[in-house]
A and B are shown apart, each in its own frame.
Chain A
Amino acid sequence: MRPQRTEAIILHTFPARERDKLVVFLTPDHGKVKGYAYGARSMRTRFGASLEPLAKVRIGYVERENDEVVRIESVDLIRSLFPAQQNLAASVAASYLAETVDTFAQSGDPAELIYRLLDRTTEALLAGASPLHVVAYAEVWTLRLAGILPSLRNCNVCDEPLGRPLRFDAHAHGFVCPNCAPVDAQVIANDVAAALDAIMRTPVGEIAASEIAADVLFEVRSLAAFFRRNFLGHELKSYEILSGVLRA
């Protein structure tokens, strides 16, 4: 039995047995961890609001030998996303962020960068940033951290530097130069390419404060969705729901 105490962000909880919850949380040092929180479904639970999705907590847990599910001993709330979730779009965006990170984060390995991404984007939602800006930022960066986002600088086929406009070739799964571009290559509007560049270079707070237009961000999202679907073989469950809420 090895006790651990670390900072974490709650990703997802599932009801388990009569009064318990199975909690999936992300830690900077051990990646994604699953653990039982006994009694967490009871109204008088000592865990309170600390196990709600995207709550940032200090969590104490015990690892059991030959068991990949840990036992959660204590959870102290550092920051709750509940205030931001008084807005429907922010609430659905938060669920989407949690599902995105849950899908790409690994168990057992350090996950400092993706942890920091989730921490900063959650912070931005709490500060009242536009959910569309935050989500587009998180989608692009998750793909980048997972090594799925193709280069925006070099051709995916011949490795020559890319100019503008960017050309997207679905068969090559990335951006290609004019020489390698097939006739059906999609020309990416310059403002969409500029938004992708800005996301790569700028912190989420600045992206959220920028005046990147909503339709440009929807384009960025659909490109990110293409790469993600291509990698996963399916779409995230919350993608369509979030798109509906953001467009409403």
Chain B
Amino acid sequence: MTAPPLANLINELSKLPGVGGKSASRIAYYILKRTTGEAESLANAIADVKAKIFRCSTCNNMTDVEPCAICSDPRRDAGVICVVEEAFNIPTIEQTRDFHGVFHVLLGALSPLKGVGPQDIDVAGLLKRVQSGGVREVIVATNPNVEGEATALYIAQQLHSLEVKTTRLAFGLPVGGDLEYADQVTMSKALEGRREI
């Protein structure tokens, strides 16, 4: 019989994405073995993130200042907006250090199978930003799958009448991959997006 406080912790941990019952139990026992200070530090970090983090009113990124550090950075080019599905996609693009524009987080992707329609994602906020002027390019960086592609098509349709260049991240072969393992869709997309060297 597990003691109720421990069972409660295991139950809460097992609600986390990717954490099953066994993993939750392992994490709970690991926390029990740490010092009280370390456990409190984890608990405080969780409470802190809920108390201090909110969405940037401009781009929907997660932030603790308004507007977020990216939107308020004068070195960033506000004329180029990179559209991503979720805030956690931003660090992946930031890691490249090749993108100097700003972001717009849609808070999801069109997914008819999950009942997520155009009104459930923040395309309206993006249109408002483009309509307010000064935007030269919108880079659609939604996931390279059916849902991401449908979202990109929808955004392109909505931006069509506005004078802004709309681009999509390239599809193709992953760096370090082998051609022999590429499927026909990836290969044909890679051929379609080939460039002169």
Contacts and interface: CB of A to CB of B under 8 A. Distances in A.
A242 interface: yes
A95 B183 contact: no
Contacts of A87: 153
A98 B149 CA distance: 17
Interface stretch (A45-53, A62-70, A193-201, A202-210): A45-53
A50 B113 contact: no
Interface stretch (A26-34, A78-86, A112-120, A155-163): A78-86
Interface residues of A, number: 32
A241 B157 CA distance: 16
Contact of B112 (A17, A48, A92): A92
B145 interface: yes
Contacts of B111: 95
A1 interface: no
B124 to A, nearest CB: 15
A12 B145 CA distance: 12
A48 B177 CA distance: 11
B115 A52 contact: no
B113 A91 contact: no
B89 to A, nearest CB: 13
Interface in B147-197: 149-150, 153-154, 157, 174, 176-177, 181-186
B176 to A, nearest CB: 7
A34 B184 CA distance: 24
Question: Size band of the B side of the interface?
Answer: 20 to 34
B134 interface: no
B178 to A, nearest CB: 10
A85 B185 contact: no
B185 A82 contact: yes
B133 interface: no
A96 interface: yes
A40 B185 CA distance: 16
A44 B153 contact: no
Q: What are the 7 A-B residue pairs with the smallest beta carbon separation, nearest first? A: A238-B112, A237-B115, A48-B183, A49-B185, A95-B112, A241-B117, A91-B150
Interface of B: 18, 110-118, 145-146, 149-150, 153-154, 157, 174, 176-177, 181-186
Interface of A: 12, 17-18, 43-44, 46, 48-50, 52-53, 77, 80-82, 85-88, 91-92, 94-96, 98-99, 237-238, 240-242, 244
25 contacts: A12-B113, A17-B18, A18-B18, A49-B186, A50-B183, A52-B185, A53-B146, A77-B184, A80-B184, A80-B185, A82-B185, A85-B150, A87-B153, A92-B110, A92-B150, A95-B111, A95-B113, A96-B112, A99-B112, A237-B115, A238-B115, A241-B116, A241-B117, A241-B118, A242-B112
